[in-house]
Amino acid sequence: MPLFYLRLNTNLMRVLVDKQEMQVYIDTIDGKGKLNGKAFDLDVAKVEDHFYRIEIEGKAYNIQVLPGDDAKKPKIRVNGIAYSTELIDKYDELIKSLGMENLTKVEIKELKSPMPGLVIKIDVQVGDSIQKGDPLMILEAMKMENVIKSRSEGVIAELYVSEGQAVEKNELLIRFE
């Protein structure tokens, strides 16, 4: 069962493993827990950073927590097989029930040049889907190459510049859908 990367705590938590939902409760004091209402014993040993050995009901699992940006959606590898997970606690449920889950999402419709410079490279094309942090282009300014990254997710609707083009500060570079 690939869901026991969970930070051990005493809260009931919903866990999605490859979009399959499970209810998990783990008591940090005695290592006992419940999975979908069924009791189990849990023993966790940290082997090294990001590597754990977990024993559940006498069966051992080698767990690797893969690097990522979102602690609520860790990617893990269990005995060599990769899984996507999502941890949903009572606070996440409350935020969702209040309709506040999207308040931290930033939606940007345009990207303007942060400084005057020369467009060295464009890493996207019209129609490309992008995620927050994806490189969009390289802008050279004062003999330094600056990677311009996306501040939100979206789709490239229009490019207003081309490689080799000089741009001024606040000039429109990209429009997003």
Residue ranges, CATH 2.40.50.100, the chain: 110-176
Is 110-176 a CATH 3.30.70.260 domain?
no
Q: Is the CB of residue 47 less than 8 Å from the CB of residue 38? A: no
Residue 113 has pLDDT above 80, yes or no: yes
> Between 126 and 89, whose confidence is greater?
126
**Which one is the CATH code of 12-97: 3.30.700.30, 3.30.70.20, 2.170.150.70, 3.30.420.280?**
3.30.700.30
Q: Is the CB of residue 101 less than 8 Å from the CB of residue 94? A: no
Which residues, in sequence order, are CB contacts of 46 under 8 Å at separation 6+?
Answer: 52
160 CB neighbour count, 10 Å cutoff:
15
> Between 139 and 107, whose confidence is greater?
139
What are residue 36's phi and psi, to 5 degrees? 50, 40
Q: Is the CB of residue 55 less than 8 Å from the CB of residue 63? A: no
What are the pLDDT digits (tens) for 45-94?
Answer: 888 888 888 888 788 888 888 876 677 787 888 898 888 888 777 787 78
